[in-house]
Structure formats: C-alpha cells, structure tokens
Amino acid sequence: MKNLEKTSLLLLLYFSISFLTCSKNEKPAGWIDSMRLLNADSESDNWVSLGRNFMQQHHSPLDQINEQNVSELGFAWEYDARSKRGRVPRGLEATPFVVDGIMFTSGAWGVVYALNAKSGEEIWRYDPTVDASYNRRACCDVVNRGVAVWKGKVYVGTIDGYLVCLDAENGKVIWRKDTFTDRSRSYTITGPPQIANDVVVIGNSGAEFGVRGYITAFDLEKGEQVWRFYTVPGDPSKAFEHPEMEWASKTWDINSDWETAGGGTVWGELAYDPELNLLYVGTGNSSPYPIWFRSPNGGDNLFLCSILAINPDNGRLVWHYQAVPGEIWDYTNTMNIVLANLEIGGKERKVLMQAPKNGFFYVIDRETGELLSAEKYTAANWASHIDLKTGRPVKTEQGWYKDEPKLVVPSLAGGHSWQPMSYSPQTGLVYIPEIVSPFIYKSVDSFKFKKLTFGTGLDYSGAGPPFSEATRKYLKGQSDTVRKNILKAWDPVEQKMVWQIEHMIPGGNGGILSTNGNLVFQGTNTGHLKVYNAETGLILKEIETGTGIMAAPMTYAINGEQYIAVMAGFGGNDLAFGTKDKRAAFRKYQNYGRILAFKLGGKKTPLPPAASNLAVPKPPNMKIDQTLAGKGESIFENYCISCHQAGYDYNWYSQYPNLAKLSEPTYRLLNDIVLKGIYSQNGMASFADVLEESDVEAIKHFLVSRQINLYNKQLDQSKN
C-alpha cells in the first residue's frame, strides 16, 4: 500500500510538472525540427531557415503587405547591432531567422543577436572573444552570413574558426569546437552553418591567403566531429583523407603547387533536401588563380568551382558538377543554391538552381546531378556557351590571360556574388542581384606562396574601370567596359530575362526577398529599401534608411501583422565597387550596423548621424627618403591595401581608418600599432610575425609622401 501511494504521488508530481511546463512553454525558444521545416509553408508567420524553408528560396507566402498597400510601408523599429567594441562599422550580411516571435541573427566576428521580433528589444547577445589576428586574415571584412537554429539551439561560426552552439533561450554556450586543421594558415569563417539530418555542417574561407578547402560535420548535441570532406586534394605523396580525394588528384598535375593548398573553400549558403537526404555544397575558387602556377600541366582541378551533393550521414559524395574546369578567374560556386520543383519538357523535375560568378544560370536535377540547362544571365566572354552533352564550358581565347592581359567579363566580383537571389513560385521567376564589372586579368611574372599574405597571382594595377592609360590598350574593342548593378527577373525554365532594373550606382547592392504580395524587396548601397512589382519591375516604394544595405530582407508576422526586416551595414569586399560616388549612403551618414523592421502604417525611418568628412591634415614635418618610400609602398600593397585602400586616395571610403588622414601623434605610435598590436581589439592586429621596425619606417615614409601630395592637392583645390 505504501509503495502504491508512493507511486501515485510520483505520478501526480510528474504530471503536475509536465502540465506547468507545457502551460508555460510547449517548446523551448528557437524550436525547429524536421516536421516544422518540411511544413514551413503552413506556418508562414515564421522564417525557419536562411532562405525561409528548406528550399532556400528567399520567398514568403505572406501577402498582407502587397502591391495595393505597400505605399503605406513605414518604420516599425530598429536595433543598434553593437558588439563589445561599440558600434560596428562593418558589413552586415546575414538573413535573420524568426521563430515564434524571436529573431535570431549574426553580425561581424560572429556576434549573435536574439531580439523580440515585434519591438526589436534585445533578449540576449552572444559576443565571442575573437583572436585579434583574424581581423587581418579575412580577405573581405570580418563579416558573418548567418546562424542556424535547431531544436532550441543556435549555431554560429566565428571569424577565428570556432563553431559555437548556444542555448536559444539565453545565449549561453553549450559547446564550442575548433574547426580549423591548420592555425598557421589564414583560414576564417564567414559563412553560415547548415543543419543536415543529424549533423551541423560548416565550411570556411581564405583561399586568397593559400588554404585548402573542406567542410566539417559535427554532432548536433555534443559537438563531436562526425566527418570531414576536403574539396581539393592534398600532396599525393601523402595519404588521401577519403576516396574522393584520390580520384580528384588525377585531375591535378602531380607537380602542383601543393604548398599553396589549392583553395576550393566553402563560404556561402548551403542547402539540404530532407526528402532526398542530400546536402548541396558550392565550392570556391582556386589558390592561386592562374593554373600555370597552381597546376602547371593543367587539368580540371576537382573540386574547384563545383556543386557537390553529399550524403550527410557519412560524408560521401553522391554526385558532383564542376562549372569551371581549370578555373583561373575566381569564379566561385559559393553563391546561394535554390531548390525548386519545375516543369521542364512536360515533366516535373526536382531541381537546384544557381547563378554563380561565371555568368551562367544553371538548372540541375538535384537527385541525379544531370545538367538540364545553362545560359548566360549576364555578359560573359570567357566562354561562348555550355555544352549540355558534356556539361563543360566552351572556352574562348579572350579568357586566357597567361601570355598577355585580357579584358574579361564577369570580373572576379562575378556576375552574381554572395547576396542571395530569390525564387518566387508565384511568378515562376528568379530575382538576381546582377553585377556587371569588367576586369583586366593580368598575371604576375612569378608566384611564390607566403603564409598569412594575400596572394592570388594577379597584378591588380589599373585592372578595373575607370581603366588607366596603361591598361586601355588591353580593351581591344571589347564592348563590356562599364560597371553596373542590375536587379534582374529571370525565367529559369525558358532561361531568359523577363525584366531588369539598373541601380543608381554600382557596387554592393543587396540580396533579394520576394513575397506572395507580388512584391520584390532589395536594399541598395545608397541606403534605400526598394520595393518592386514582381511581375513587371515597376518600383512601388522606396524608403531611405541612411545605411547601405547588402543583406537580403526577410519577412514574418506576429499576431497577424506582417513585418519586413533587413540587416543594414555596409562593408566587406563590396567597398571596392562604387565607393567614390557621392550618392553612396556612407558619404552622407555614419556607417554602422543596424537591424531595421517595417510595417504598414509605420513612421519615417530615423537616419544615422551625418558622416564626418575631415580634410587631409597637415603632414608631419619630415624629410622623405624616396627609396624607403618605394619599399614602403611595396610593403603596403602586400600587407595593408586589402583593408586600407584609403591610403591611396583620401576620397576613398573604407570602414578602416583612412591612412591618408593620419595625425602626427598617430605616426608616433605607428610602431606600437603595427608591431605591438595596441589597437588589436579595434581590429588592427599585430604584424610582428611578418614585419620589422625597418618595415614600419618604410611604410611611414610612403604614407607621409602620399599625405604630402594629397595635402598639396587639397590646398590647390581650395585656392580655385
């Protein structure tokens, strides 16, 4: 009897606790599981993957905001996306999740934000302690392209290579794992993780610094490594890590530059089809770019610039398609992959679609890897067409720059970069943030790998428009010499353009959102959120935010009210395009990270404070040694210019300090800044491992000589 009473009390206690727990919250915060992901269209109020559903279409069925009432769209709330360093003048590139009223997203370095999606109020913030040296190892800013949310956990990759699992309720670290195989190399993480069945998969970046690409799968609960797939082979004199690498090695010269490691990094959005249990991975560019340095006897060099279909249970390759065999142009396939079911040739096909850098739009059977179609969505002169029988591009002489420089389109910026494109099942169209950016490819005379040093094998002098007098001779009648940015509506079945809109200024315009309101949303580098009719391209609404927008907008609803949200903050490699134009947002307003939300009946969007346009200060009174200045210029171009483009022109914008405007006290601190890393927490890491005091002195002579020239030019302009 006592045992029965004890059992009854235990059962009563269990059910009481269960009832109270369920009453309070049936599922933990951030609860997404397989069933919820598969049925995402039935709960369109939420946004449960980077592209909203597992198809990664960046499209929403929501239609409360539509072409009839979008003129009433206005400001709802904003969040200042700070880190412990303060306001962040960096690029924001992620697409937020919204799960049951909570927004989860990431910013520079891998900072994670959890916000009340109705008010923008911060719930928690995870601010990782990042190794300061990685501020200079990132080729294109310390950006982060998003998180993954799964079963009450948030996963993020930090710029210095850690995959971190957080409790979605409070942001506390559950586990943190090192994903890098070699910390003496300049690996970084800028891409988002992807959940694939029972694992979370993360890639990396850094090919321009000489690294070997791979992806790694970790157990969702404990963070234990499950498998690793390398995307290019290592030195064949050593053991191959998995069978695919032995096979791939046959497409590389046995005497390849194995020290440079090959590249092939995976830094973009992945996609996972839970119905087929296939993970789709886009791989990156070569390292170095010219194959005559990398693999002197040629070869396809698998798996550079490819799409891989991988079984996430064991990490084995199911099929692959290589878009650019023997790649030499930085034509990565890391752009977002979109899944769809399309009727092609009278038959419904499960397809994946991608518009990679190389200028061709690919439609591929995602179950078998069969190439269904590939047509130019932008100007491309490196290849005439794709042979559908072989799947290979038919290359032209214009693309081969070994013997002499050549004007090639697309450029290394690509016909489409990381900014996500969108597919609307409502219109049947894909909306592509197209880039038109010609580039003169010129090989250096010789190439030697140096650790921790940016090196691609290209000579960048005078390579892009406006072309210098020295490079104009290489244009040779080529027509594609003007830089543009275009929003393009593309029919993926007919493989043709339906409409297009050219943006005001080129460079760094944002990713795309489409909705069942017959709308297309895109942010711009002028600091505007623009809304278009999805069928015609007619502009319906334009909201000035004052902050350049590169990320893709997203949408969600709370209590029946629809919101549009976007991360705003300009930076990254996009600073290299269009930054001298006075209409760019950062010319007028201070550039720092913000998350902005809009709704019908909203207010006017608050603008950031005005930008500071300080003139070039009077240079230090010192005698310039021209020999030292020449040495300093060479050092600057090797180690500094990827961040401090502004050292060459005081009108050039960068989120990093403008080295044409240094004050005399800063010059006195130059040794401590460069060699001791006294500004490392602000992003300026020490270079003591590669530079000496004599090198810093040479840099100083170069910078002061530049400042003298610019200061005198400024004086002359003031007289006129």
State the DSSP string of 50-61. TTSSTT---EE-
Residue pLDDT, tens place only, 236-272: 999 999 999 999 999 999 999 999 999 999 999 999 9
* pLDDT recorded at residue 482: 86
Q: Provide CB contacts within 8 A for 697, sequence distance 6+.
A: 628, 632
Output the CA angle 284-94-518, nearest 5 degrees: 105
pLDDT tier at 306, thresholds 50, 70, 90: very high
The string of DSSP codes covering 443-454 is B-S-----TTS-
Tokens 């770019």, residue located: 289
CB 328, CB 302: distance < 8 Å: no
* pLDDT recorded at residue 580: 62
| Amino acid letter for position 527 | G
Q: Which of 330, 480, 574, 695 is catalytic?
A: 330
Cα 555–chain centre separation = 20
* pLDDT recorded at residue 640: 80
Is 90 or 216 the better-scoring residue by pLDDT? 216
Q: Which residues pair with 364 in a beta bridge?
A: 352, 371
Runs of H (alpha helix) within 108-266: 243-249
> Among 110, 156, 167, which residue's Cα sits nearest to residue 135?
110
Element (H, E) at 690: none
* 330 annotated active-site: yes
- Is it the case that residue 303 has pLDDT exceeding 80? yes
| Amino acid letter for position 186 | S
* pLDDT recorded at residue 571: 83
Element (H, E) at 484: strand 484-491
Residue pLDDT, tens place only, 406-456: 999 999 999 999 999 999 999 999 999 999 989 999 999 999 998 888 899
Residue pLDDT, tens place only, 139-196: 778 899 999 999 999 999 999 999 999 999 999 999 999 999 999 999 999 999 999 9
Residues 185, 304: Cα–Cα separation, whole Å: 19
Runs of H (alpha helix) within 367-482: 469-472
Residues 318, 279: Cα–Cα separation, whole Å: 10
- Is it the case that residue 494 has pLDDT exceeding 70? yes
Length, in residues, of the chain: 720
- DSSP-based three-state secondary structure for 637: helix
* pLDDT recorded at residue 3: 45
Helix/strand/coil (H/E/C) assignment for every residue in 172-205 = CEEEEEECCCCCCCCCECCCCCEEECCEEEECCE
| Mean pLDDT value of segment 364-380 | 98
pLDDT tier at 530, thresholds 50, 70, 90: very high
The percentage of residues in the chain with a pLDDT greater than 90, rounded to a whole number, is 73
- Is it the case that residue 21 has pLDDT exceeding 50? no
290 phi and psi angles, rounded to 5 deg: -65, 125
| Amino acid letter for position 88 | V
* pLDDT recorded at residue 326: 98
| Amino acid letter for position 16 | S
Tokens at 137, concatenated: 């190892």
Helix/strand/coil (H/E/C) assignment for every residue in 544-607 = ECCCCCCCCCEEEEECCEEEEEEEECCCHHHHHCCCCCCCCHHHHECCCCEEEEEEECCECCCC
Residues 163, 174: Cα–Cα separation, whole Å: 11
Using alpha carbons, list the distances in angstroms from residue 77 to 552, 597, 601, 603: 18, 5, 12, 9
Judged by phi (left if over 0) then psi (alpha if -120 to 50, else beta), residue 550 lies in: alpha
* pLDDT recorded at residue 588: 86
Helix/strand/coil (H/E/C) assignment for every residue in 125-169 = EECCCCCHHHHCCCCCCCCCCCCEEECCEEEEECCCCEEEEEECC
Which is it for the CA torsion 401, 405, 409, 414, positive or negative? Answer: positive
| Mean pLDDT value of segment 211-239 | 97
Residue 652: CB atoms within 10 Å: 16
Tokens 């142009």, residue located: 329
* pLDDT recorded at residue 496: 98
Q: Provide CB contacts within 8 A for 236, sequence distance 6+.
A: 249, 254
Is 323 or 479 the better-scoring residue by pLDDT? 323
* pLDDT recorded at residue 679: 82
Q: Provide CB contacts within 8 A for 365, sequence distance 6+.
A: 349, 350, 351, 372
Residue pLDDT, tens place only, 101-140: 999 999 999 999 999 999 999 999 999 999 877 777 777 7
- DSSP-based three-state secondary structure for 473: coil
User: What is the reported pTM?
Assistant: 0.90
* pLDDT recorded at residue 574: 55
Is 645 or 180 the better-scoring residue by pLDDT? 180
- Is it the case that residue 232 has pLDDT exceeding 80? yes
Residue pLDDT, tens place only, 31-69: 999 999 999 999 999 999 999 999 999 999 999 999 999
Tokens at 669, concatenated: 């601190």
* pLDDT recorded at residue 83: 87
The percentage of residues in the chain with a pLDDT greater than 70, rounded to a whole number, is 92
pLDDT tier at 96, thresholds 50, 70, 90: very high
* pLDDT recorded at residue 15: 39
* pLDDT recorded at residue 613: 66
List of domains in the chain: 626-719 (1.10.760.10)
| Mean pLDDT value of segment 500-524 | 93
What average pLDDT does the structure give for the chain?
A: 91
Residues 306, 280: Cα–Cα separation, whole Å: 10
> Among 686, 184, 205, 162, which residue's Cα sits nearest to residue 452?
184
| Mean pLDDT value of segment 635-664 | 69
| Mean pLDDT value of segment 653-662 | 70
| Amino acid letter for position 195 | I
* pLDDT recorded at residue 485: 92
